[in-house]
Structure formats: structure tokens, C-alpha cells
Amino acid sequence: MITTLSIKNYALIEKLTIDFSTGFSIITGETGAGKSIILGALGLVLGKRADLTSLKNKEEKCIIEAQFEISKYNLKDFFQDNDLDYEDETIIRREILPSGKSRAFINDSPVNLQELQDLSLFLIDIHSQQQTQELSDENVQFKIIDAIANNSEVITSFQKLLKEYKSDKTKLNALLKKQSEAGKQQEYNTFLLEELVAAKLKSGEQEELEADFEKLNNVEIIKESIDKSLAIANEEQFGVFHNLNEIKVALQKIASFSPEYQALFERITSITIDFDDVSKELQNCSEKLLNDPAQLELISQKLQLIYNLQKKHQVTSVDELLQIQTNLQNTVLELENIEEEIAVLSKAIEEKTQELDTISATIHQNRADAIPVLSNQLISILETLGMPNVRFKMELIPSETYFQNGKDELQFLFSANKGTDFGLLKKVASGGEMSRIMLAVKAILAQYSKLPTLIFDEIDTGVSGEIANRMGEIMKGMSNKMQIFAITHLPQIAAKGDSHFKVFKSTVDEDTQSELKLLSSEERVVEIAQMLSGTVISDSALNHAKALLN
């Protein structure tokens, strides 16, 4: 329940703090006095969006703070899940800065509007004329029936399973689409893969083949050059090797005369050794050189195969072809795995379908059992509210579609008078009838579910006299289990409250302000008398007011 509301610099309110109690609270005031401002301030606390028009003084920030007693609301898990500090006396604060930015806090912890809105669902239900119209919405009608059917837990299980089912269906459709698209390419991919596998490619192979090709393709000129080099190196009288040995012998004779000569001798000796190695290597190369046209043809064919594959796949190296080969292998294998995945998913979907059908059947049966209970209770309450011939016809229509709350569609039909056909609520019920039906619904729901604080914003629209008196009695009865507020223009309802607040305007230094005041017993008599007779209060109105209050 809400225990305190504090408002600063909001609309026509400069500063206001008011305490609320349990039971049935009444809020009255002339049209335009500021009742909507109080609701607007509460709306901001509950997470509605704000703008600079909310500020009375555009240079100062607006602060709205509400304190709630939530020890009986079982909200510790909510606070833990949202990483918030839990307090039995929880304080929600909303600030609107002159810059237009807005901040929200729960027990001094900053929160976003979504968290605020999520928490507000457990705290306050503001019933407005718009919500009365929502009674015609099928989802709202189902929520009423499901509350009486005690379907909350089973629908939660259904929704969890439905989410998994839809996820599996999405995955299956994606796999089927992938299989269809891949199937068209599978034959071509297999052909490309077989072609690459048959080529027996190896990393670095192209460079080796190209080197061997150059050797074999130019074997005659290579042999001629090597043999000429060997002849120059090894000619008996004038060859390079003979001359190097002559130099070596000459330097050996003088090496002992100086370190300088010794160094030169060692260097020529090293050159002689290196040259000897070069000569022997040339000799080996000469001996290995063969004119092998058949081998040259094989190398040429392999290189041409590599070049063709590179051109086809638009790459420039064997390593890239090998990577394409690996990718093709994965693609072909993946398609084979897709069939297995499709089979597994199809089986899972079939099992979930059976389970969803079982749960939805339970939901349906619970609803079917609850509908007569709801209908009888509605008729019973509405008879006391001046609708003696009211009838309801609620039909569950099984569907093959999975909705968020089962597989039912609903026809919620209504007839207010004898001899009239059933029709949809929004088409055949008047504003006053809708208000009474909604009050009856709330009264019934209060018996089956833990509703938060309820604020009825002029639910008495379209009614008066004895009917208003009975509506007040119903709200009074509801307040035995929960905190109820009623914003009303009817004295019959106002007289039923445990406490009575008046919204009024005052002028301070030519500044108009809205204020909210808790009325004393005497003030309350005057307020109700004024509601009965207008500005000029007669003795009969005062006596009538006292009678209503007693």
C-alpha cells in the first residue's frame, strides 16, 4: 500500500506531502481543482514519461516521492533479480530536471523506467475510463477468467514451453531453407571437391614444379654453361684451379716473413678450398642433368592443372586452393549433418507440440470450469447495481493456433435486458453499464488474486442515487482486503470512505496552486453537503450528508 506521497514543483503543486492509510480513501474536488495532477504525479512515480511541461517553476527540478509498505507483496525476488536493496518501507523517487532529463530511484538506487514500470505492476492499479474500455479486449477478458481459473502457473509453464517451441521452429525453418539452397549447390560443390582432391595438391608444390620445369626446359644451355665452367676451372695448364694453386705455392714461400703475408696465404687457401667445392658441385650438376622429355611433359601437365584450378577459383597459390578444398569438404559434410539436425529438431518440436496441447487442454478445462463461476458472480453483483436482467455468454472457441495464453479464442457476449440479443460488450453496453461491470470484475478479482492498491478514477460515471450507494458498498467491501482509493463526484460513494481527501485550488501572491487536504469529520460533512447541493449549502443538505456518513 502507498503510505506517503510527496510532490514538489509539479504542475500547479508547489509543495505537498500527504499520508495515506489502509482501507477506503475518498478523493473529491471540483472539476479542474487538480485531481488529474495527483494522478499524473503518481503516474510519474510508476514510470510514465515526463517532459518540461510538468515543472511549475522551470528553473527548479521537480521531485515526486512515494513510500510503499510492501512486506506482504512477496517482492524480495524481484528486488534481488534487479539488484536492488529490499526494504519493507520502499521509497520510489522521480526527478525531472530543468534540462528535461529524468531520473528514477528505488530505495536510492538509480533505475531505468522499465524497472520502475515492472515494479509498479505490483504496487498500484489506476483504474481510469480508458481501462474500462479495455474490458472489451479479449486479452483482458482472458486475464479475468484465468485469475478465477487459477491458471497463472500453468500459463507460465505454457509460455516458457511455447518460447522454446518457437525457437526450435525458427531453427528448423532456417535449416530447411539452408538445406534447400545448399541442395542446389551440392552436386556442383561435390564436383569441385573431387576435382581438387584428384589434383593431390601439396603446399609449396607449385614453386618446386616451376623450378624443375625451368631446368628440364633449358637442359641443353644449362649443360653447356656448366661444362664450359668446368673446363675453365680444371684446364691442366691455364685453368682457374691450376692458377690458384700456383698463387698458393708462391704465397706459402713468403708467409713466414710477415703476418701480412701469412694472412694473404690463408685467404688464398680458403678461396682454393671454396673453388674446389664449387667445381665439384658443378660436376654433380652436370652429371645429374638429363634430357627427359617425358618428365618435362608430366611437370608441364601438373603445372597447367594447377594454373587452371587457380583461374577457376580466382586464386594465385596452391595454399589458397587447399583452403578452398577444406571449405568444400566442410560444406559437403555440413549438408549431411543438416539432415541429422533436422531430424532431431523435428522430433523435439513434435514432443513440444504434444506437451503444449496437453497444457493448453488443462488451461481450457480450467477456463471452462471458471466461466460459470465468473458469470454467476458478475450477475449477482450487477443485480445489486441495478442490472437485474443482465446475462453473460462466454464461449471458448478451440483453435489450432498457439497464442501466448493457450489455444482458445473467446466470445464474451453480454445482454443487459430481457428480450435483447447477446452482443459484444463494446457494442451493446453503455458507459454506466461498463463502469458497473468493471467494478464487479475488480471486486471478484480481489477474491482470487492479490491485487495492488486500486485507484478508481470516476468509475461512477453514468450512475447515481441508490446504484452509486451500492457501488460504494462494493468498494468499501474490497477495502477490507486491500487499499482502495476512489476519485468521485458522487456523495453516496464519498460517504463510504474511511478517510476523505479534498483537492482544491488556492491563490497565493497571485499564484494559483493545487492542494490536497485530509478532511476532519466536520469538514467532511460540509464537503458532502456541498456535493449534494452545490455552493450554497442548505440545512437539508447538511442533514442528508450526516445521514449518509452515519
pLDDT at 243 over 90: no
pLDDT on residue 353: 95
Return d(Cα 290, Cα 220) in angstroms, integer.
Answer: 9
Lowest mean pLDDT among 4-18, 211-225, 245-259: 211-225
Question: Are the C-beta atoms of residues 493 and 471 closer than 8 Å to each other?
Answer: yes
Indicate the pLDDT class of residue 37, thresholds 50, 70 and 90. Answer: confident
Question: Are the C-beta atoms of residues 57 and 9 closer than 8 Å to each other?
Answer: yes
**One-letter amino acid identity for 58?**
K
Question: Are the C-beta atoms of residues 504 and 29 closer than 8 Å to each other?
Answer: yes
Bridge-partner residues for 419, per DSSP? none
pLDDT at 154 over 90: yes
Pairing verdict, β 24-28 and 484-487: parallel
| CA-wise closest residue to 38 among 491, 486, 528, 497 | 486
Bridge-partner residues for 511, per DSSP? 508
pLDDT on residue 332: 72
Q: Long-range pairs for 93-96 at CB < 8 Å and ≥24 separation? A: 93/63, 93/64, 93/65, 94/44, 94/45, 94/50, 94/63, 94/64, 94/65, 95/61, 95/62, 95/63, 96/44, 96/50, 96/51, 96/52, 96/54, 96/55, 96/61, 96/62
pLDDT at 497 over 90: yes
pLDDT on residue 305: 81
Give the H/E segment covering residue 472. helix 465-478
pLDDT on residue 130: 67
Question: Are the C-beta atoms of residues 351 and 178 closer than 8 Å to each other?
Answer: no
pLDDT at 230 over 80: no
pLDDT on residue 378: 93
Residues listed for the chain: 550
pLDDT on residue 32: 76
pLDDT on residue 150: 92
The mean per-residue pLDDT over the stretch 339-348 comes to: 90
Which segments of the chain belong to CATH 3.40.50.300?
1-123+452-519
Question: Are the C-beta atoms of residues 292 and 216 closer than 8 Å to each other?
Answer: yes
Indicate the pLDDT class of residue 523, thresholds 50, 70 and 90. Answer: very high
| CA-wise closest residue to 279 among 269, 289, 271 | 271
Q: Per CATH, which fold does 1-123+452-519 belong to?
A: Rossmann fold (3.40.50)
Task: Encode 450-467: b = buried (16+ Cβ within 10 Å), e = exposed.
Answer: ebbbbbbbbbbeebeeeb
What percent of the chain has pLDDT above 90?
A: 34
| CA-wise closest residue to 31 among 546, 537, 531, 548 | 531
Q: How far is residue 423 CA from its own chain's centroid?
A: 38
C-alpha cell at 364: 481450457
Q: What is the pLDDT of residues 301-328, one digit of tens each?
A: 788 888 888 888 888 888 888 888 888 8
Indicate the pLDDT class of residue 297, thresholds 50, 70 and 90. Answer: confident
Highest mean pLDDT: which of 210-224, 308-322, 404-418?
404-418
Pairing verdict, β 89-96 and 62-69: antiparallel
The mean per-residue pLDDT over the stretch 282-288 comes to: 76
pLDDT on residue 485: 93
pLDDT on residue 324: 86
Q: How far is residue 157 CA from its own chain's centroid?
A: 19
The mean per-residue pLDDT over the stretch 363-372 comes to: 95
Q: Long-range pairs for 395-403 at CB < 8 Å and ≥24 separation? A: 396/364, 396/367, 396/368, 396/371, 398/364, 402/162, 402/165, 402/356, 402/360
**Rg of the chain in Å (alpha carbons):** 47
Q: What is the pLDDT of residues 44-65, one digit of tens each?
A: 999 888 777 778 888 889 999 9
C-alpha cell at 379: 450477475
Indicate the pLDDT class of residue 381, thresholds 50, 70 and 90. Answer: very high
Q: What is the pLDDT of residues 109-130, one digit of tens each?
A: 999 999 999 998 889 888 876 6
Q: What is the pLDDT of residues 348-360, one digit of tens each?
A: 999 999 999 999 9
Return d(Cα 68, Cα 452) in angstroms, integer.
Answer: 11
Return d(Cα 41, Cα 33) in angstroms, integer.
Answer: 14
Return d(Cα 357, Cα 175) in angstroms, integer.
Answer: 25
Indicate the pLDDT class of residue 222, thresholds 50, 70 and 90. Answer: confident
Q: How far apart are the first and last CA of the chain?
A: 27
| CA-wise closest residue to 387 among 433, 429, 445 | 433
| CA-wise closest residue to 469 among 540, 530, 415, 547 | 547
Return d(Cα 377, Cα 446) in angstroms, integer.
Answer: 13
Bridge-partner residues for 188, per DSSP? none
Give the H/E segment covering residue 324. helix 318-384
pLDDT on residue 128: 75
The mean per-residue pLDDT over the stretch 386-413 comes to: 92
pLDDT at 66 over 70: yes
Question: Are the C-beta atoms of residues 338 and 405 closer than 8 Å to each other?
Answer: no
Q: Is 64 helix (H, G, I), strand (E, B) or coil?
A: strand
| CA-wise closest residue to 37 among 16, 59, 67 | 16
Q: What is the pLDDT of residues 448-495, one digit of tens each?
A: 877 788 998 888 777 777 888 898 999 999 998 889 999 998 999 999
pLDDT at 184 over 70: no
Lowest mean pLDDT among 105-114, 167-176, 241-250: 241-250
| Helix 318-384 vs helix 431-448: crossing angle, to nearest 10 | 110
**Close Cβ partners of 229 (under 8 Å, ≥ 6 residues apart):** 282
| CA-wise closest residue to 496 among 461, 534, 468, 456 | 468
**Close Cβ partners of 164 (under 8 Å, ≥ 6 residues apart):** 352
Lowest mean pLDDT among 72-86, 252-266, 292-306, 419-433: 292-306
**Which one-letter DSSP state was computed for residue 227?**
H
- Residue located via cell numbers 539488484: 83
Q: Is 471 helix (H, G, I), strand (E, B) or coil?
A: helix
Q: Long-range pairs for 323-329 at CB < 8 Å and ≥24 separation? A: 324/192, 324/196, 325/193, 325/196, 325/197, 325/201, 328/189, 328/192, 328/193, 328/196, 329/193
pLDDT on residue 91: 95
